[in-house]
Structure 1
Amino acid sequence: MTAMSDTPLQSLQDDVQRLLGRCLLRLQHYERALKAIVAHYAVSGPTETLMADRDARIADTARKTLGLLVGELFGSGIVTNATESPPEPIPASTGSTLSIRMGIALNLTDTEFAQLTSDLKDLVVLRNTLVHHFIEQHDLGTLDGCHDARNALVEAQTRIDHHLRQLNEWGNDLGRLQQQTAEHLRSEEFRNFFVNGNHPDGTVYWPFTEIVSALKKAAGELAVDGWVSVEEAAAWISEHYPDQLPGAYGCRSWRQVLHESRIFEIRYFETEGLRSAWYREKRGH
Structure 2
Amino acid sequence: MTNLLPNELEQAQTAVFVLIGKCILNLQLYEQALKNLLPYFEVSNDGPTPEQQREKLAKLTLGSLIRQLIKRAADFDEDAEEPKRSVTNSIVIRTRFRIPVDAKEAKQLYQNLDELLHKRNFLVHHFRSEHSLKTDSGCRAAKTYLDGLYEQTKTAIAQIDGIGRELKSSTASLIKFLGSDEAAHLIEEFCFEGESVISQEK
- Please classify the TM superposition score into its range, dividing by the shorter chain length: 0.7 to 0.9
Residue 165 of structure 2 is aligned to residue 172 of structure 1 = yes
How many residue pairs get aligned? The number is 195
Residue in 1 aligned with 2:55?
59
Structure 1 unaligned residues grouped into runs of 5+: 208-256, 267-285
Shift of 1:40: 1.0
Residue in 1 aligned with 2:22?
22
Query: Relative contact order: is structure 1 or structure 2 higher (C-alpha 8 Å, sep ≥ 6)?
Result: 2
State the distance in 1 between where 2:50 and 2:106 align. Answer: 28
Residue 100 of structure 2 is aligned to residue 107 of structure 1 = yes
State the distance in 1 between where 2:70 and 2:138 align. Answer: 37
Residue 3 of structure 2 is aligned to residue 7 of structure 1 = no
Give secondary structure in 2 for the equivalent of 1:102.
strand
Residue 76 of structure 2 is aligned to residue 122 of structure 1 = no
* TM-score, scaled to structure 1: 0.60
State the distance in 2 between where 1:262 and 1:152 align. Answer: 66
- Aligned ranges 1:188-267 → 2 under 5 Å: 188-191=181-184, 197-198=187-188, 202-204=189-191, 260=196, 262=198
Shift of 1:141: 2.2
Is the contact between residue 30 and residue 157 of structure 2 (CA under 8 Å) also seen in structure 1?
yes
State the distance in 2 between where 1:175 and 1:13 align. Answer: 42
Shift of 1:22: 0.7
- Aligned ranges 1:62-73 → 2 under 5 Å: 62-73=58-69
Residue in 2 aligned with 1:275?
none
State the distance in 2 between where 1:188 and 1:63 align. Answer: 43
Q: Relative to structure 2, which stretch is displaced further, 95-104 or 153-162?
A: 95-104
Is the contact between residue 76 and residue 85 of structure 1 (CA under 8 Å) also seen in structure 2?
no
Is the contact between residue 138 and residue 148 of structure 1 (CA under 8 Å) also seen in structure 2?
yes
Structure 2 unaligned residues grouped into runs of 5+: none
Is the contact between residue 133 and residue 139 of structure 2 (CA under 8 Å) also seen in structure 1?
yes
State the distance in 2 between where 1:6 and 1:156 align. Answer: 27
CA RMSD in angstroms comes to 3.0
Shift of 1:160: 1.4
| TM-aligned CA distance change 1:27 to 1:86, over 3 Å | farther
Give secondary structure in 2 for the equivalent of 1:43.
strand
Q: Which has the larger helix fraction?
A: 2
Q: Which has the larger strand fraction?
A: 1
State the distance in 2 between where 1:167 and 1:29 align. Answer: 10
| TM-aligned CA distance change 1:153 to 1:176, over 3 Å | same
Shift of 1:191: 4.6
Q: Which amino acid aligns with 2:198?
A: R
State the distance in 1 between where 2:63 and 2:192 align. Answer: 41
| TM-aligned CA distance change 1:205 to 1:150, over 3 Å | farther
Give secondary structure in 2 for the equivalent of 1:117.
helix
Q: Which amino acid aligns with 1:65?
A: T
| TM-aligned CA distance change 1:57 to 1:142, over 3 Å | same
State the distance in 2 between where 1:95 and 1:36 align. Answer: 28
Deviations 1:138-161 (A, max 9, x none): 112222211111111011111111
Q: Which amino acid aligns with 1:61?
A: L
